[in-house]
Amino acid sequence: MIIRTHAPYAAAALMLGVLLTVTPAHAVTMDVTEDVMTSSFFQGANAVRGYAGDNRPVFRVSTGNPFGTIGAETIYLAFDYDFSSFIGPVSALLTVQSTSGGFGADASADTPFTVSAHGVAANPFSAISDDTNPGGSVSWLNFYNQSILPADVAAHSVVTGPGAVTFDVSALVGSWISGGNAVQVIALTGLNDTSGNEFLHGFLNNTEAPGSVFLTVSAVPEPETHAMLLAGLGLLSLARRRQRAAGETR
């Protein structure tokens, strides 16, 4: 009995096997460790709300200076993850759940609302002074004006109603991994909305609705590895075509 081997097919399959072995998929999904909101409508010392026991199932994000107030309603999402296992670029998606804010100023298909996800220059949970954190050094408004960093262009999402909303926060999480920004907090604001409308749009509070907010981070193959993988797939496809052609000419 003669055993025929197909060297190109075997070589391509071997290359793919090696690549998939040395570059396994690396992805994690993490829940938010704490989420709260600040608002220009909150009066007195209780400026940061949404902690466990506050009975606030829905947060709101607003446009700047809504309905004659100063500042904007902002949600702060804290994460605590050791990213040391990630080397190189990542893809990161933040998922939140849009819902009614309860004040008749929600986004809709006819009146879309652009919300953006920002990094911060300081930790709002320790920096903002209120009754939960009387040792804080700044007011919620000064923090909003001074410590919210510009959002990456990809980290803007248009909200048109209830349901899951995702933000591409790859650049922000990349700065956490590289050490460019050590504060693992994301601020959701409407300061980049240019619709001209005023919104008080709602998002679920993860403390009250666990699992409604999460961050998924995946490793992105280095360009060289990606090119090798494409080459391996090309060789495998070519070997298969040659194998079929050889079978047809027998």
Per-residue model confidence as pLDDT tens digits over 156-202: 999 999 999 999 999 999 999 999 999 999 999 999 999 999 999 99
Helix (H) or strand (E) holding 165: strand 163-168
Per-residue confidence at 23, pLDDT binned at 50, 70, 90? very low
Among residues 223, 234, 229, 231, the alpha carbon closest in space to that of 21 is found at 229
Residue 237: what pLDDT?
Answer: 56
pTM beyond 0.85, yes or no? no
Average pLDDT over residues 197-221: 96
Average pLDDT over residues 96-105: 97
